[in-house]
Amino acid sequence: MSDTPPAFDPSGFSLEPLGRRIDKPWGFEVLLSPPDAPYTSKLIHVRAGRRLSLQVHDTKVETQTLVAGRGSVVLEGSDGQLHDVPMEPGVGYHVAVGQRHRLCAAPDQDATIFEASTPELGTTYRLEDDYTRPHETEALRKAERAES
């Protein structure tokens, strides 16, 4: 066993900061990870009184935590019912593949949530949406991000 670390190809190393803002009808997201990373990280900013769609992913797994403001996450429990869970700062809320969920800001205060997930592949099925948007496919996601 050697005490020498393995050799790495420095051509893939970067010192460039990342942060791409994507405006949404409920607020905005800031994408923090490179598009080709084996994970996705983002900040989700939800304006007071707004909420994301009630949605389910066919391939994506997420963990979310409240970093500022007040908000809640609606999560489907093992009983098949939706539960409105007030978010606590610094606590992780896990969303499994196929689990219905929705992020909501408090009526009187914005909420900022950090999300770490598997890559944003597959389809986000919008079961309910205040903005009557279609399901989010990989093609729609790519087009939306090319515009910003």
How high does pLDDT run on average in the chain?
94
Residues spanned by the domain of 122: 18-142
Residue 6 lies in a domain: no
Percent of the chain residues past pLDDT 90, beyond the cut: 80
Of 68, 60, 97, 100, the C-alpha closest to 81 is 100
Is 8 part of a structural domain of the chain?
Answer: no
Q: Decide if 147 is inside a domain.
A: no
Please, which pLDDT band fits residue 10 given cuts at 50, 70 and 90? confident
| E strand or H helix that includes residue 101 | strand 101-105
C-alpha 59/C-alpha 135 separation (Å) is 14
In-domain check, residue 4: no
Per the structure, the count of domains in the chain is: 1
Asked if residues 18 and 31 have their Cβ atoms less than 8 Å apart, the reply is yes
CB neighbour list of residue 6: distance below 8 Å, 6 or more residues apart:
none
Q: What is the pLDDT of residue 1?
A: 65
Q: Kindly state whether residue 83 falls inside one of the protein's structural domains.
A: yes
CATH number for the domain harbouring residue 71: 2.60.120.10
- The stretch 14-39 carries a mean pLDDT of 94
Q: What is the mean pLDDT of residues 19-48?
A: 96
- Helix (H, G, I), strand (E, B), or coil: what is residue 13? coil
Predicted structure pTM score: 0.91
Residue 10, in any domain of the structure: no
With a cut of 70, say whether residue 38 has pLDDT above it: yes
36 located within any domain: yes
Report if residue 94 sits inside a domain. yes
